[in-house]
A and B are shown apart, each in its own frame.
Chain A
Amino acid sequence: MQPFIVEFIHSRKDELVERWLEELTAVRDKNLENMSDAVYQHTNREFIQTILHTLDADVEQTGERLSEFTSRLIKLGWPLGYFTQGLQTFRRMVFEALAAEEDDAKKVYRLSCDVEEWIDSIINQFVNDYNGSWESTINLQKMALRELSAPLIPVFENISVMPLIGTIDTERARLIMENLLEGVIEHRSQVVLIDITGVPVVDTMVANHIIQASEAVRLVGTECILVGIRPEIAQTIVNLGIELGKFPTKSSLQKGIETALEMTNKKMVDI
Chain B
Amino acid sequence: MRIPILKLYDYLLISIQVELDDQTALRFQEDLLNKIHQEGSSGVVIDLTSVEVIDSFIAKVLGDVIAMSNLLGAKVVLTGIQPAVAITLVDMGVKLKGVPTALDLEQGLEKLQQELER
| Contact residue among A177, A178, A185, A221 (Cβ-Cβ distance under 8 Å from B101) | A221
Residues of B within 8 A of A (CB): 78-83, 85-87, 89-91, 95-96, 101-104, 107-108, 111
Q: Which of A177, A178, A190, A220 interacts with B81 by CB under 8 Å?
A: A220
**Within the complex, which residue of B82, B85, B101 is in contact with A218, where a contact is CB–CB below 8 Å?**
B101
Nearest-CB distance from B113 to chain A (Å)?
A: 13
List of 6 A-B pairs having minimum Cβ-Cβ separation, nearest first: A181-B83, A221-B102, A221-B101, A216-B86, A219-B86, A221-B103
How many chain-A residues does the 8 Å CB contact rule pick out?
Answer: 17
Question: How long is the Cα–Cα vector from A184 to B96 in the complex, in angstroms?
Answer: 19
Residue pairs across A and B with Cβ atoms less than 8 A apart, 10 shown, are: A178-B83, A181-B83, A185-B83, A188-B104, A212-B91, A216-B83, A219-B81, A219-B86, A220-B81, A221-B107
Q: Given A188-B103, A190-B107, decide whether A220 and B82 contact each other with a Cβ distance below 8 A.
A: yes
Given contacts A178-B83, A181-B83, A188-B104, 4 further A-B contacts (CB under 8 A): A181-B86, A218-B101, A220-B81, A220-B86
Nearest CB in chain B: distance from A180 CB, A = 8
Which residues of A are interface residues toward B (Cβ below 8 A)? Answer: 177-178, 181-182, 184-185, 188, 190, 212, 215-222
CB atoms of A219 and B89 under 8 A apart: yes
A177, A184, A218, A221: the one within 8 Å of B87 (CB): A177
Main secondary structure of the interface of A (DSSP, over half): helix
Question: Nearest Cβ in chain A — how far from B14, in angstroms?
Answer: 16
Once the chains bind, are B87 and A216 in contact (CB under 8 Å)? yes
On whether the beta carbons of B90 and A216 are closer than 8 Å, the reply is yes
Residues of B within 8 A of A182 (CB): 83
